[in-house]
Amino acid sequence: EVQLVESGGGLVQPGRSLRLSCTASGFTFGDYAMSWFRQAPGKGLEWVGFIRSKAYGGTTEYAASVKGRFTISRDDSKSIAYLQMNSLKTEDTAVYYCTRGDLLWFRVPKYYFDYWGQGTLVTVSS
Amino acid sequence: DIQMTQSPSSLSASVGDRVTITCRASQGISNSLAWYQQKPGKAPKLLLYAASRLESGVPSRFSGSGSGTDYTLTISSLQPEDFATYYCQQYYSTPPWTFGQGTKVEIK
């Protein structure tokens, strides 16, 4: 059974940093891309960042709202994906979800997200 | 960026009703569309991808159709467990992956 478990959320002051972890099980972690999404209280879903598998270069992509502040990484030996969040702002307050990216070929690889973790709440407030 | 527009934003329906939710992309997305269901306090759950492919384990009362810029999620006979918020998401032109604003399905 595929499982994704996020951890590391909590209350943090504006300007500070936080690192989220996503521990995966039930599949060969290194074979998949991973992505982070977030949902502010009472709002819709927003993509945050993405990391390809090593087979596709292990490269990353970020939403404009977090680029330069957030960094995604992965440790395939531990089946963990990370989201390092620096210079946090009050508008970063949200539930953060880790997801697994599955791949469809349509001339180029297209990724959709088939499994989601339960989410971890990050509250940025003084 | 591709903008996704869902309609309606909310609807009220009864158990057994046929429900249709539409999603329009700001440009053609060649069926690169996923639908998710989210219940309060829970993570989104993938229902369909590639516009019409049912994810494993999802009941067959859920179906998807469409092409170009216009897509539809249909629930053929609404069940009590289907009351939730539904989101469409395009993955044709990424990054960014973009969502519709959501459609809340409530009990009439």
Residues A99 and A119: their CA atoms lie apart, in Å, by 10
B89/A114 touch (CB, cutoff 8 Å), yes or no: no
Cα A65-A6-B5 angle, rounded to 5 deg: 45
Q: Which residues from A are below 8 Å from B102, CB to CB?
A: 44-45
- Does the structure show a pLDDT above 90 at A107? no
B102/A44 touch (CB, cutoff 8 Å), yes or no: yes
Q: Which of A106, A113, A117 sits opposite B46 (nearest CB)?
A: A113
Cα B12-B18-B22 angle, rounded to 5 deg: 75
pLDDT in tens, B21-70: 999 999 999 999 999 999 999 999 999 999 999 999 999 999 999 999 99
pLDDT in tens, A53-83: 999 999 999 999 999 999 999 999 999 999 9
- Beta-bridge mates of residue B71: B23, B66
Mean pLDDT, rounded, for A100-117: 92
* Number of C-beta neighbours around residue B60 at 10 A: 7
Helices (H) and strands (E) in chain B, counts: 0, 11
Q: Which residues from B are below 8 Å from A102, CB to CB?
A: 49
User: What pLDDT shows up at residue B103?
Assistant: 98
Mean pLDDT, rounded, for A16-28: 98
Give the chain B residue whose CA is nearest to the CA of A107.
B92
Reported confidence tier of residue A123, pLDDT bands at 50, 70, 90: very high
- Does the structure show a pLDDT above 80 at A106? no
- Does the structure show a pLDDT above 90 at A108? no
B55/A114 touch (CB, cutoff 8 Å), yes or no: yes
A45/B87 touch (CB, cutoff 8 Å), yes or no: yes
Question: What's B12's DSSP letter?
Answer: E
User: What pLDDT shows up at residue B107?
Assistant: 87
